[in-house]
């Protein structure tokens, strides 16, 4: 709507000095235009411009059985105006003690918001076509879930979530300033969705019965299991002795119990609460809507899976290994 007011022709007319009445009218328009530009993503020059869009996520078939390929509609935060939504939302990055500015434009046909868990409290709805700006202070290094908190989890379940990673300043490879060091870092944003009862209903404009949630698809960085296990940016691949910092964000509604083969890892923080003494584990329960950070050091060569140790979460709609998974590959 602001863009309509500020069409180039009208801006041009603001520059005309005669006649007086027209000038006044045009001057008011100019004022409005200037104000609009100040609050618009273009002139506000935010660090991140996010756009709420619709799109799809493609689930690939199991190479074992050929089963399971499907396309599922999603809503998400993207970094392209008019772009196509994918999972997860655009990665936001900041440094410890710093801040970032984020402008969120809602190009979807219903209202949404943008909340960074533990860091922002503005839950105001962004109406369709509107833009809202946020300044996010990031005093503590870690990993944060951002999401749309409206509509009883329906909007988040449809895909409106992402991660904010906060690193120590100066590019140091530590989990936080003075914290444990690592060689490589990975981000695992996991989520679940209930296609028939939530996604399909909400996407076609219906009302979701939120008391029933039976997720049948599970994603790792927006990928089904077989895609994720072949994704270099997801897998922990390196030389024996290398340590990975894995930042995990559970954007779904099911707790996920992630089991790592190969060797134990050190849990160093849960939901950005740093453990006073780190704990060795081979399975970490990342509860719905929380985050965790673990250090996984490749102790022996070989190929090892990481998977969820829970029945249906190992599948995509019942197709084995198409749920939450990754590979650990040590040379």
Residues forming contacts to another protein in the complex (CB under 8 A) are 62-65, 67-68, 213-214, 216, 226, 229-230, 253-255, 257, 259, 261-264, 277, 279-283, 285, 288, 299-305, 307-312, 314-315, 317-321
Q: Tell whether the torsion through CA atoms of 5, 6, 9 and 11 is positive or negative.
A: positive
Residue 145: CA count within 13 A, CB half-sphere: 28
Q: Could you tell me the CA-to-CA distances from 62 to 73, 150, 224, 287 in Å, in that order? A: 20, 35, 10, 27
Please say which residue, 1 or 311, places its beta carbon nearer to another protein. Answer: 311
Please say which residue, 133 or 256, places its beta carbon nearer to another protein. Answer: 256
Please say which residue, 50 or 284, places its beta carbon nearer to another protein. Answer: 284
Least distance to another protein, CB of residue 133, Å? 34
Least distance to another protein, CB of residue 273, Å? 15
C-alpha dihedral over 125, 130, 133, 136, to 10 degrees?
40
Please say which residue, 204 or 277, places its beta carbon nearer to another protein. Answer: 277
Least distance to another protein, CB of residue 45, Å? 41
Least distance to another protein, CB of residue 196, Å? 10
Please say which residue, 62 or 78, places its beta carbon nearer to another protein. Answer: 62
Residue 172: CA count within 13 A, CB half-sphere: 14
Place of tokens 């140091």: 172
Least distance to another protein, CB of residue 49, Å? 34
Please say which residue, 101 or 263, places its beta carbon nearer to another protein. Answer: 263
Q: Could you tell me the CA-to-CA distances from 224 to 67, 90, 152, 328 in Å, in that order? A: 12, 18, 25, 16
Least distance to another protein, CB of residue 271, Å? 15
**Residue 202 DSSP code:** H
Please say which residue, 22 or 261, places its beta carbon nearer to another protein. Answer: 261
Tokens of 303: 């190929």
- Please check whether residue 50 is in contact with residue 100, taking contact to mean a CB–CB distance below 8 angstroms: no
Least distance to another protein, CB of residue 199, Å? 14
What is the residue-wise DSSP string for 9-66?
HHHHHHT---SHHHHHHHHHHHHHHHHHHHHSHHHHT-SEEEEEEEEEEEEPPPTTTS
Least distance to another protein, CB of residue 57, Å? 17
| Euclidean distance between CA atoms 112 and 245, whole angstroms | 32
Tokens of 324: 């939450």
The helix, strand and coil proportions of the chain, stated in percent and rounded to the nearest 5, come to 20, 40, 40
- Please check whether residue 148 is in contact with residue 185, taking contact to mean a CB–CB distance below 8 angstroms: no
Least distance to another protein, CB of residue 4, Å? 44
Please say which residue, 52 or 321, places its beta carbon nearer to another protein. Answer: 321
Q: What angle do CA 241, 245, 246 make, to 5 degrees?
A: 120
Please say which residue, 2 or 278, places its beta carbon nearer to another protein. Answer: 278
Helices (H), 93-249: 154-157, 200-203, 225-228
């Amino acid at each position: 709507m602001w863009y309509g007011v500020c069409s180039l022709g009208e801006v041009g007319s603001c520059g005309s000095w005669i006649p007086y009445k027209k000038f006044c009218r045009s001057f008011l328009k100019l004022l409005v235009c200037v104000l609009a530009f100040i609050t618009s993503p273009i002139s506000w020059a935010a660090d991140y411009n996010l756009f709420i869009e619709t799109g799809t996520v493609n689930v690939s078939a199991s190479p074992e059985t050929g089963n399971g390929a499907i396309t599922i509609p999603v809503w998400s935060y993207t970094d392209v105006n008019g772009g196509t939504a994918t999972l997860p939302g655009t990665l936001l990055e900041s440094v410890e003690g710093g801040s970032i500015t984020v402008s969120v434009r809602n190009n979807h046909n219903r209202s949404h918001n943008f909340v960074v868990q533990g860091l922002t409290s503005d839950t105001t709805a962004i109406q369709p076509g509107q833009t809202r700006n946020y300044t996010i202070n990031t005093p503590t290094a870690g990993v944060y879930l951002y999401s749309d908190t409206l509509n009883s989890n329906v909007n988040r379940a449809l895909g409106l979530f992402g991660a904010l990673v906060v690193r120590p300043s100066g590019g140091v490879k530590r989990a936080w300033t003075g914290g444990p060091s690592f060689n490589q870092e990975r981000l695992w944003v996991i989520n679940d969705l209930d296609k028939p009862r939530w996604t399909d209903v909400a996407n076609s404009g219906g009302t979701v019965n939120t008391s029933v949630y039976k997720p049948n698809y599970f994603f790792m960085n927006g990928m089904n299991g077989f895609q994720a296990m072949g994704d270099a940016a997801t897998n922990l691949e390196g030389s024996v002795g290398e340590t990975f910092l894995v930042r995990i964000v559970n954007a779904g509604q099911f707790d996920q119990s992630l089991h790592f083969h190969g060797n134990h890892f050190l849990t160093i923080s849960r939901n950005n609460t740093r453990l006073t003494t780190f704990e060795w584990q081979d399975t970490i329960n990342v509860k719905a809507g929380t985050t965790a950070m673990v250090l996984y050091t490749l102790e022996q060569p070989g190929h090892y899976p990481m998977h969820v140790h829970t029945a249906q979460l190992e599948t995509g709609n019942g197709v084995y290994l198409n749920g939450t998974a990754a590979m650990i590959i040590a040379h």
